Amino acid sequence: MQWFAVLFKKPREQRNLTETRANAALQRNLPADVIMFAMSIVRVALDVPLYRCFDYLAPGVTRAAIGCRVRVPFGRRSVIGLVVDLPEESDLPAAQLKAIEELLPAPVLPADWFRLTGFCATYYQAPLGEVMLSALPAGLKRLDPPTPRIPKVAKALPQPSPMPELTGEQTAVIDAVRAAGAGFKPFLLFGVTGSGKTEVYLRLIADALDKGGQVLLLVPEINLTPQLEARVAARFPAAGLVSLHSELTEAARLRNWLAAADGRARIVLGTRLAVFTPLPDLALIIVDEEHDASFKQQDGMRYSARDVAVFRAHDRKLPIVLGSATPSLESWANATEKEMRGRYTLLTLKERAVAQSRLPAVQRIDLRKEKAEEGLSGILLEAIEKRLVRGEQSLVFLNRRGYAPVLACTSCGWISDCRRCAANLVLHLKDRRLRCHHCGYETRIPKACPTCGNQDIHPFGRGTQRLEEFLKARFPQARILRADRDVAKSRKQWEALVERIHAGEADILVGTQMLAKGHDFPKLTLVGVIGADAALFAADCRAPERLFAQLMQVAGRAGRAELPGEVLVQTQYPDHPLYAAVVAHDYAAFAATQLAERRVAGFPPYSHQAMLRAEAPQMADAIAFLTTARAWPGCDAHPAVTLYDPVPMRMAKLANLERGQLLVESASRPALQAFLAEWRAAVDGLKLPSRLRWHLEVDPLDY
């Protein structure tokens, strides 16, 4: 398939070839079914921020070229693009069209992949070329890619791992999915932590494989893949399992992607970008932890992999299972609200799968009455002591890494704020650095206050490093292990850390949300939660939902085997309804309360939103741009759409840029989409101040 490389060395020479010479060259190099006599036009999608495709000349191609990659001249450089159409004529005169430089070898992207990326470009108001090219592995976009070897899909040599006996609830769930038959069937699998959702996934995967199908299994984070990958590989050693995530090398990602695209890999386990993997025999999609915000891409095309997966299942007419112990309120409403017309079928696992295992007892510790030492109450410290005596493990959960959130001067009031962001520099005492967790800026810890010279500067608040230091002093005999992004920066480091926990090399764990989900530590019987109150009164309407999910996830780490579990939540607000729902393990009650509040306020899922955001060196420029966009005359033709006033973002400054936003809302999704298509085009035509950048986000998660 190197024929076009010879023919298209120089575009100018190519344009001067006669039909006879072109035909002769093509006859020597091309398959018979793609030979034509005339110069054809190919329409190419390029990875550029422009809402259009580009026409090029290409001799001898037929519609078989659609879906092929091409190397084309663009400005002064050559780039890789995708052939999306063969129009009969171009808007430009033929004399102005350049010729493609090379038609690249397989793979050829299939029609359903075009429908998927086309939907994303339309729904998320993104340039088609950016969507298509960003969905491809980097190895397919390089101008000088190495010759790819035929990838081998690793196959395990042990017999398949034995299947455990199903509980009655698991059997009922699996039977319900089987009874639904073929076609698009969205299921919401609501199962408490430890209820055996993974075993349900494995049985459904087995069904799909038995019918000759492929399976796409999506997880929110790389750190969740190792143990899940091991379980899937052990259950299906001959299925050809491949994983797709950002920590793979470029070569490994390309090999795995190609194996999935040509059907040799029958199971694909991946994070959000894996939703775009071509799968010719796709028969089942599973989205684990479907509520997780990590499924939302936060730059480029800001898509939700969960929602894209639902569209893909609908387009391919196949079942999709969305699983979670704390479903997103949107998914819960789709399964339970009457006006949503039962879009999803609700499946429930209320009990833990291990017979001796019970949901942990949750207790609130009232910090208004209990004194705390370095943030830890006497009740929690005593509970940790008991676990040490019994040889059990404890987890102290604080979702804030570093030593302390801020360094401050008690004399003049100076605080360690980031010069580039509207945020504080976090104290990392071990590294002797102050570091911004938003833009990455860091500096040395000052010996004295930079403002007044006072040497008596102190850390305020606490992070996981400070907790670790205190616990080592308080329990010198204990083996204490900290788990956060500072000690587990890569997948290998994380796997090594988890191995140590399983091997019993830690008595007390100090961790962030990295430890909160997807992990099964049999000896872990106590979870202590500190610092959760801050999220109770956040301006973001989704903050309570995220907090509840986080608390239920981390609570679910306790008592997953025969040993009973206990969860202690320290709070200044023990009577808050959210904590009452956590104590009762009552997601349904929490969801009902939250949905009632959102219905009154007109928040999603009872409305549909988009956010226009702008960033510039000066806030005045960002707000002026948003104000101009809001004043677009065409807004009057869309009465079902509301545009709110431009305001600064919650983090008004990031990486030296001031940021503003404008919320757009409608009770009708079609009405919102119709408006956005016209409005985005109008905004795209506005003259921008120097260095101002903007983007439009559909279904935003952050406000």
In a domain? residue 194? yes
- Token pair, residue 638, equals 């869309």
- Write the CATH number for 173: 3.40.50.300
Angstrom distance (rounded) from CA 557 to CA 528? 11
Overall domain count for the chain: 4
E-strand stretches of 253-392: 267-270, 282-288, 319-324, 345-349, 361-366, 372-373, 376-377
Are residues 577 and 636 both part of a single domain?
Answer: no
> Between the CA of residue 11 and those of 30, 56, 315, 340, 375, what are the distances in Å?
19, 10, 39, 56, 70
Are residues 654 and 587 both part of a single domain?
Answer: no
3-class SS letters over 39-82? EEEEEEEECCCCCCCEEEEEECCCHHHCCCEEEEEECCEEEEEE
Are residues 550 and 617 both part of a single domain?
Answer: no
Angstrom distance (rounded) from CA 651 to CA 648? 8
Are residues 470 and 588 both part of a single domain?
Answer: yes
In a domain? residue 225? yes
| DSSP 8-state symbol, 134 | H
In a domain? residue 450? no
In a domain? residue 412? no
Per-residue model confidence (pLDDT) at position 212? 97
Are residues 340 and 374 both part of a single domain?
Answer: no
Per-residue model confidence (pLDDT) at position 60? 82
Domain boundary among 109, 131, 151: 109
- Check: CB of residue 623 under 8 Å from CB of residue 616: no
| DSSP 8-state symbol, 417 | B
Angstrom distance (rounded) from CA 643 to CA 628? 12
Domain boundary among 109, 135, 159: 109
Residue type at 235 in one-letter notation: R
- Token pair, residue 231, equals 């379980």
Are residues 523 and 641 both part of a single domain?
Answer: no
3-class SS letters over 194-218? CCCHHHHHHHHHHHHHHCCCEEEEE
Are residues 255 and 316 both part of a single domain?
Answer: yes
- Token pair, residue 590, equals 């929490």
End-to-end CA distance of the chain: 50
Using a 10 angstrom Cβ sphere, with 0-12 exposed, 13-18 middle and 19 or more buried, the burial of residue 303 is: buried
In a domain? residue 104? yes
In a domain? residue 55? yes
In a domain? residue 151? no
What is the mean pLDDT of each successive set of 10 residues along the chain, which is 703 residues long? 29 38 41 47 96 93 92 95 95 92 92 98 97 96 69 60 92 96 95 94 97 97 82 94 92 95 97 97 97 93 97 98 97 91 92 84 96 94 97 94 93 94 92 92 94 92 94 96 89 87 93 81 93 87 93 89 91 96 96 95 95 97 97 96 96 95 97 97 92 96 85
Per-residue model confidence (pLDDT) at position 671? 98
Are residues 273 and 194 both part of a single domain?
Answer: yes
Are residues 343 and 388 both part of a single domain?
Answer: no
Q: Which long-range contacts (CB under 8 A, 24 or more apart) does 328-332 make?
A: 328/290, 328/291, 328/545, 329/545, 329/591, 329/594, 329/595, 329/598, 329/604, 329/605, 330/604, 330/605, 331/188, 331/290, 331/291, 332/188, 332/190, 332/591, 332/595
Are residues 567 and 685 both part of a single domain?
Answer: no
Q: Which domain holds residue 96?
A: 3-109
Per-residue model confidence (pLDDT) at position 490? 83
In a domain? residue 390? yes
Are residues 54 and 74 both part of a single domain?
Answer: yes
- Write the CATH number for 37: 3.40.1440
Residue type at 129 in one-letter notation: G
| DSSP 8-state symbol, 535 | G
Domain boundary among 534, 560, 594: 594
Per-residue model confidence (pLDDT) at position 8? 32
- Write the CATH number for 683: 3.30.70.360
Are residues 177 and 286 both part of a single domain?
Answer: yes
Per-residue model confidence (pLDDT) at position 149? 59
